[in-house]
Amino acid sequence: MPLNSHEIAQQRHLKRHLTFWRFMAVAVLIVGLIAVSAVSINNNSFSIRQQHIASIEISGIIYRDDRLLAQLKEIEKSDKVSGLIVIIDSPGGTVTGSEDIYLAIRKIAAKKPVTALMRGVAASGGYISAIAADHILASGNTITGSIGVIYQWPEYVELLNKVGVKMQTVKSAPLKAEPSGMVPLTDEVRQQVEISVKDSYDWFVGLVSERRELDMADALRLADGRVYSGRQALAENLIDAIGDINDAEDWLKNQLQQDDKTYQDLEIIDWTPPLFEQGSLNQFLKMEINALAGIKFFDINSGKNISSTGLMALMLN
């Protein structure tokens, strides 16, 4: 039955009110998150003027994160930071991103004690971050290991052929811009990719051997890409102990006392970049705004993506 003019006007009125309250809900959400973030920043700004233990979280896929690296640099330079707890929950990421974090943590460890605490997952590039510390703790069921390097790309040349698309390329040398999914993989290209992967793999295994004081033969035996539970990692000397945040704090306390530095129940202060600045929250806000408004204002896939042109150190399930 068709609606009369009064009913149509009433429906439009209700839709306008619904849209208004949706926007109000979004506005309140954004203002609240900004306020919480601002309070957190202000509290940290005050707290870091006192002597304390810093903590920082490395989570999700690892890539070059300038904000995280800047925080690590500040921790290194701060004379108010007595020690650092690196909390890791990551399946890995890019080789270069993992290397950046490793080097930054090693610079801190040259000046003050650093311990790593593995949470749910600290594999591949996540494990690289962990071995930068002087002491590694994990839960019994933490997933770690996955020591290895992988480089993947899609090959869709057959699909292009089926739809009648042919790519024409003029380049200075056969290996320029290879591998490419638009052309079949040649033996020469595969060989060059294998050389690059092997180079990064040797670097990774060398770090494991050096940092965990393992013979190269043992490091290679453990570096076949498999994952380990925290208990298995302890048995293989890939970590130092099963423990939690309290055990990490106790280890730092003992280290500071051995170094004749005063430890007076120092507060642990989180140096992780504020939530409101993180890309994951930006994505969350975009999704919430789209949902509340009932309109696709934002493309949630338009954020920063990891480039597939670099070697990846990702744990595969």
Active site residue ranges: 124, 176
User: What is the total residue count of the chain?
Assistant: 317
Distance CA(19)–CA(26), nearest Å, equals 11
Rg (CA), the chain: 25
Q: 238, 212 in Cβ contact below 8 A?
A: yes
**CA gap 80, 51 in Å, rounded:** 4
DSSP string of 154-213, one letter each residue: ---HHHHHHHT-------SSTTTT-S-TTSPPPHHHHHHHHHHHHHHHHHHHHHHHHHTT
Q: Find tokens 């590039």 and name the residue.
A: 125
* Both structure tokens of 153: 């790309």
The Cβ of residue 196 has, within 10 Å, a number of other Cβ atoms equal to 13
